[in-house]
Amino acid sequence: MGKLVVHDAIGAIDVSGNLIKIRSMNGHLANGTIHVAGVVDASGDQPDYRLDAQVTNAAPARWPAYSMSVGEAVWRTSPPN
């Protein structure tokens, strides 16, 4: 399984104890854009991810040919080395 790379990501979150609310996270993905909002609840044995992601104008040829788990996502603010 590979990684999903989002470039120039910017977002707003709220943290309260073990709960992280992602109010918005936006970035560039596969020549398109991605918007993510949701909640990560880390109060249990395993984190509970509830995310809504919207991808716009991404090039299918540049999209990974595999499924991705949330733990594999990589957010970058500059191109990879």
Per the CB < 8 A criterion, the answer to whether 22 and 9 are in contact is: no
Which residues, including other chains, have CB under 8 Å from residue 1's CB and lie 6 or more apart?
Answer: 66, 67, 68, 69, 72
> Which among 57, 15, 20 is positioned nearest to 37, based on CA atoms?
20
For the chain, 81 residues long, give each residue's pLDDT as a single digit of tens.
457 778 899 999 999 999 999 999 999 988 889 999 999 999 999 989 898 888 888 876 666 554 444 444 554 444 444
Please tell me the predicted confidence (pLDDT) of residue 73.
Answer: 54
Q: How far apart are CA 73 and CA 71, in angstroms?
A: 6
All domains of the chain in start order, with CATH = 4-60+69-75 (3.10.450)
